[in-house]
Amino acid sequence: MPLITSAGIGSGLDLESIISASVDAENVPKMNAFAAKDEALQVELSAIGEVKSALSQLQDTIEKLADPDNFNKRVANITQPTSDDGDLISVTPTSDITPGDFKIEVVAIAQGSRALSEDGLFATNEDVVSASGGTLSFSAGPDKTFDLTLDAGATLSDLRDAINDSDSNFGVTANIINTGSEAKLVLTSTVTGTGNDLVITNDNAELDNVSTVANAGGAGGIGIAAENTAKDAIIKVDGITITNDTNTFKDAVQDMTITAKRESVDNETAKLSVDFDRESATTLVDELITNYNNVIGQLGFQSRIGKPLNSDSTIRSLSSQLVNALSTSLTDAGPFESIFDIGLGVDKEGYLEKSTLVRSLNDALDNNFDDIGKAFAGENGIASKFEELLNNYVDTNGIMKQREDSLNGQISDLEDDVENHQFRMESLEARLREQYAGLDVLLAQMQSTQTYLSAQLASLPGFTRSDS
């Protein structure tokens, strides 16, 4: 606290020590009490925060368990042919597919058409394709089209660049091959499937040499050989032939997409096995066990004797509600009447664990996979009970947030109390200094008078000062 003046100069008394001791006698016990209360509030706030964090983690897990899609996942295991040619197929199953085993052969890969200019039409890539310009119209199949307008004097190189740079191009790539004696235009279309060959028409006969169809009808200067026509992809699933205009076969096996990657060599096949995604379900159950036990551990730790939440009614109530939620009776979950029927149990400390007392989790996954999803994510499943409970505690206006707000409010009030107390102590010091200042002056005057009188008496004839 600031010193107003230096007390005791006049009298020689140690008034600073007297003032300091007087202020400390009132200030120190109060400040110690403030510090102790602040520490207690901070510790309790930290404990509430730890519990809330554990509950939030459990809530995240419960949200996953409440989603039926997380129990409807399927996994496709593919055994590719033992060759150095790379994968034969890739597969994407949906959640609706029925588990099963399949053999898949890729008979043919889908391809787009490849068009080539006829011999002797262009000597170099700088040959002019149209002296006056015009428009070329490109199409492949029923719904792929774009137009390209060429300026007068456009060369073969200009045409190539215009095709490749067109923003409306649906998938035609142009290249020029120089043989040494001539230049040939090569056009490749990405549009696959039988009947989807590239067709090029024009509005100026000067462009016939770079069209598949002449302006007046008939063949143009660009042709497509039989081996370069657009073709379908063909696969065999368990010997059944399936044709598609692309390499992606949706629902060739119902609820599964098969993508052909290359053609089979010597009728080789890929073996496909579709099964329930047991690993995903097991991971979710493991996550539940971990995060539930984390909550139980936090509640037990923070409510021990000597801890800030010991005998806390909120914690006791939460612990009881967690046990009740875990023990929920299930309906419409097949043979599972409670969570303990799917291979889970609770030890003597209240921690959740995998158990084989009724059946193992693996047995439940093997025999009643869909019912496990219903046990957790069903209308009356475990997840719905936990969601209701945890929302009440963790949400924006939940119980834990209210506790945090209350504690933060008390800490704020305590800070105000400290400021008010410090002001009172400053006022007390000021009063003491004012009081002792008068005393200091009075004593100084008395000392001065004493010194004067002593001097006067000493000057009197016959006066003898006694030292006794």
CATH code, domain with 129: 3.30.70
Could you tell me if 198 and 269 lie in one domain?
no
Could you tell me if 124 and 222 lie in one domain?
yes
Backbone dihedral angles phi then psi of residue 249, each to the nearest 5 degrees: -105, 100
Measure the CA–CA gap between 333 and 370, rounded to whole angstroms. Answer: 8
Confidence of residue 5 (pLDDT cuts 50, 70, 90): very low
Q: Using the 8-state DSSP alphabet, how is residue 322 labeled?
A: H
464 within some domain: no
Could you tell me if 125 and 93 lie in one domain?
no
Task: Tell me what pLDDT residue 8 has.
Answer: 46
- Looking up tokens 């704020």 gives 412
Could you tell me if 243 and 314 lie in one domain?
no
198 within some domain: yes
Could you tell me if 289 and 429 lie in one domain?
yes
Q: Using the 8-state DSSP alphabet, how is residue 213 labeled?
A: B
Q: What is the mean pLDDT of residues 229-256?
A: 95
Could you tell me if 96 and 241 lie in one domain?
yes
Task: Tell me what pLDDT residue 18 has.
Answer: 79
Could you tell me if 67 and 99 lie in one domain?
no
Three-state secondary structure call for residue 399: helix
Task: Tell me what pLDDT residue 450 has.
Answer: 63
How many independent structural domains does the chain possess?
A: 3
Name the pTM for this structure: 0.63
Task: Tell me what pLDDT residue 398 has.
Answer: 84
Task: Tell me what pLDDT residue 447 has.
Answer: 59
Question: What is the span of the domain harbouring residue 170?
Answer: 112-228
Could you tell me if 319 and 439 lie in one domain?
yes
Give the model confidence (pLDDT) of 168-185 as tens digits. Answer: 999 999 999 999 999 999
Confidence of residue 196 (pLDDT cuts 50, 70, 90): very high
In this model, does residue 9 exceed pLDDT 60?
no
Tokens representing residue 386 in the block: 């936990």
Give the model confidence (pLDDT) of 210-231 as tens digits. Answer: 999 999 999 999 999 999 999 9
Could you tell me if 215 and 237 lie in one domain?
no
Task: Tell me what pLDDT residue 446 has.
Answer: 65
Measure the CA–CA gap between 319 and 454, rounded to whole angstroms. Answer: 86
Beta bridge partners of 242: 235
Neighbour tally for 240: CB within 10 Å: 9
Confidence of residue 464 (pLDDT cuts 50, 70, 90): low
Of 80, 142, 90, 143, nearest to 250 (Cα)?
90
